[in-house]
Copies of this chain bind each other. A is one copy, B any other.
Amino acid sequence: MTAVARESALIDQFDATRERTLELVRTLERDDFVVQTAPYMSPPKWHLGHVSWIYEAIMSKISPGYEFYSGDLAGYLNSYYQQFGSPMDKGRRGVVSRPTLEQIFDYFEETNRRVRGFIEGGLSPDNSRMITMGTHHECQHQELLIYDLQHLLASEYRPARRGTEPKPAGETGGTVRVKGGLYTLGYGGGGFCYDVELPEHRVYLEDYTIGAYPVTNGEYLLFMEDGGYGSYRHWLSDGWDRVKENGWNSPMYWEKEGDEWYTNGLAGRRKINPKEPVCHVSFYEADAYCRWAGKRLPTEAEWEKAALWNEEEQTKSVFPWGDGAPSEDRANLYESGLWKCTEAGSYPEGASPSGCHQMVGDAWEWTSSEFVGYPGFRSGFDEYNDKWFTGQKVLRGGSYATPSMAIRGTYRNFFRLDERWMFCGFRCAGDAPA
């Protein structure tokens, strides 16, 4: 690709990303932008500013003399990068009335102008990759923004549902068997990926089984009805402590009314659909379910091999269905009354060669693997993903809130073990002695 073509493609990608961010907040009320409803979520106003500020941080790394738009903004919009000064305590993002939303929108637009100018001024491939990373960072926050809007709007205000019903999911259940041996884990393609997906490296796997589908609401209800939340036997000690501390007795956002379970989501309040993948469960709950079911969670290597490896052809693809990117963004399909969102439902592109369905596009799937660097890991950006190499588990796949541009089979998402406000489910695995 020529430099000019590369710049043009980058500007297109940048513009599309920025536009999608604005699209997500287009129907919000003015007050919705300001408040923070939980320490782990951020006000929409903050997301708008932060995704802009990151481009400034990147430009300042590339171009040492770079002058920031506003020093005051940085303290507010910096999430955790100590190199850019002392960030504000995350829990206080909702007590900030200045900068106002209008000032944040001005900043958003000004950043657009600057980034475009920066690209048009000519960029080395390395610097081009840095700006690309800024757009992928923005994709991450688009997804977080959707989680946060669900927390803010769906759980607090429970809008009456509008729009069409989600189409019932198809088949569920079943297990596939995967052969072990040496497998090469990590990203090996030529496109963009994060540093934590590298380097490719060999791991040895025993033979194993893995669910052909994610665990569904219906299956999870059996666990609940069998007293799953009431018996310590299914739980890790830390998990059992959380159950009691937090009074967990169902996935997050679920409520019982009479004999019926409901969930409050972006599409409003609706009855639990037993065929949909279970969502909004913590690692501890996923783990307890597996133990109850006589199974275990897969490691991330087991998950990835089941998703991407074609045993017959001895090849590895980028997605379960092949190398072609998803054809559309799932989070913009219909009008819920609050903003555009989609029903749950995997990318329709199909099952993996080993026969696993719905691996990408419904809910992220917990694995048993701790989020640490791969052997030989080299940090690609100062103070980014590798600051979090303790206390978190890897999730694989992608949810219906993940922008299609940000999806890859080797993507390693990570959250703390008790978090469940993101769109997260799981599938079971098991040992398969010969």
Interface residues of A (CB under 8 A from B): 29-32, 34-37, 45, 80, 82, 94-98, 100-102, 152, 156-157, 182, 201-206, 232-233, 236-240, 283-284, 287, 368, 370, 372, 375-376, 383, 387-391, 417, 431, 433
Cα-based distance from A284 to B389 in the complex (angstroms): 11
A79 CB to nearest chain B CB (Å): 11
Alpha-carbon gap, A115 to B79, bound state (A) = 48
Contact A31:B204 (CB < 8 A) given known A37-B95, A239-B390: no
B236 touches A97 (CB 8 A): no
The answer for the CA separation of A383 and B291 in the assembled complex, in Å, is 13
Are the C-beta atoms of B35 and A238 separated by less than 8 Å? no
- The answer to whether A97 and B152 have CB atoms under 8 Å apart is yes
Query: Do the beta carbons of A34 and B97 come within 8 Å of each other?
Result: yes
Q: Check B29 against A238 for contact (C-beta < 8 Å).
A: no
Between-chain CB contacts (< 8 Å), 22 pairs: A29-B98, A30-B30, A30-B100, A30-B101, A31-B45, A31-B98, A31-B100, A32-B98, A34-B34, A34-B97, A35-B96, A82-B232, A82-B240, A94-B95, A98-B157, A204-B204, A236-B389, A236-B390, A237-B388, A238-B390, A370-B372, A390-B417
Tally of this chain's copies: 4
A45, A238, A376 pick with most chain B CB within 10 angstroms: A238
Contact B206 A375 (CB under 8 A): yes
Residues of B within 8 A of A206 (CB): 201, 375-376
Specify which of B36, B97, B236 is in contact with A31 (CB 8 Å cutoff): B97
User: CA A10 – CA B100 in complex, angstroms?
Assistant: 39
4 nearest CB pairs, A to B: A31-B97, A237-B387, A370-B370, A82-B232
Q: A239-B390, A387-B237 are in contact. Are A202 and B204 (CB under 8 A)?
A: yes
Chain B residue contacts of A29, Cβ below 8 A: 97-98, 100
CA distance A265 to B420 in the complex (A): 43
Q: How far is the CB of A366 from the nearest CB of chain B, in Å?
A: 12
Contact A204 B232, beta carbon cutoff 8 Å: no
Inter-subunit contact A375/B431 (CB<8 Å): yes
Kindly provide the distance from the CB of A254 to the nearest chain B CB, expressed in whole angstroms: 21
CA distance A391 to B284 in the complex (A): 12
Query: A98 and B34: CB pair below 8 A?
Result: no
Residues of chain B lying within 8 A (CB to CB) of residue A368:
372
Does the CB pair A156–B204 fall under 8 Å? Answer: no
Chain B residues within an 8 Å CB radius of A202? 204
B contact residues around A233 at 8 Å (CB): 82, 383
Complex Cα distance, B157 from A389, in Å, reads 37
> Which residues of B have CB within 8 Å of A431?
375-376
Q: What is the CA–CA distance of A389 and B393 in the complex, to the nearest angstrom?
A: 12
- Could you tell me if A236 and B388 are in contact, using CB atoms closer than 8 angstroms? yes
Give the distance in Å from the alpha carbon of A61 to the alpha carbon of B65 in the complex: 68
Give the chain B neighbours of A375 by CB distance below 8 A.
205-206, 431
Counting chain B CB atoms within 10 Å of each CB, the highest count among A201, A232, A237, A389 belongs to A237
- The distance from the CB of A247 to the nearest CB of chain B, in whole angstroms, is 16
The docked-state distance in angstroms from the alpha carbon of A36 to that of B376 is 44
Q: Which residues of B contact A232 (CB under 8 A)?
A: 82, 383
Which residue of chain B is the closest to A391 with respect to CB atoms?
A: B238
Looking at A95, A201, A240, A372, the one whose CB has the most chain B CB atoms below 10 A away is A95
Residue numbers in B under 8 Å from A383 (CB-CB): 232-233
* Neighbouring B residues of A236 by C-beta, 8 Å: 387-390
User: Smallest CB–CB gap between A258 and chain B, Å?
Assistant: 22
A379 and chain B: residue at smallest CB distance: B291
User: Which residues of chain B are within 8 angstroms of A204 by Cβ–Cβ distance?
Assistant: 182, 202-204
CB distance from A270 to the nearest CB of B (A): 20
A205 vs B31: C-alpha distance when bound (angstroms): 54
Give the shortest distance, in Å, between A351 (CB) and chain B (any CB): 25
CA distance A29 to B104 in the complex (A): 13
Cα(A249)–Cα(B370), bound, Å = 28
Closest residue on chain B to residue A236 by CB atoms: B390
Q: Which residues of B contact A35 (CB under 8 A)?
A: 34-35, 94-97
CA distance A36 to B368 in the complex (A): 36
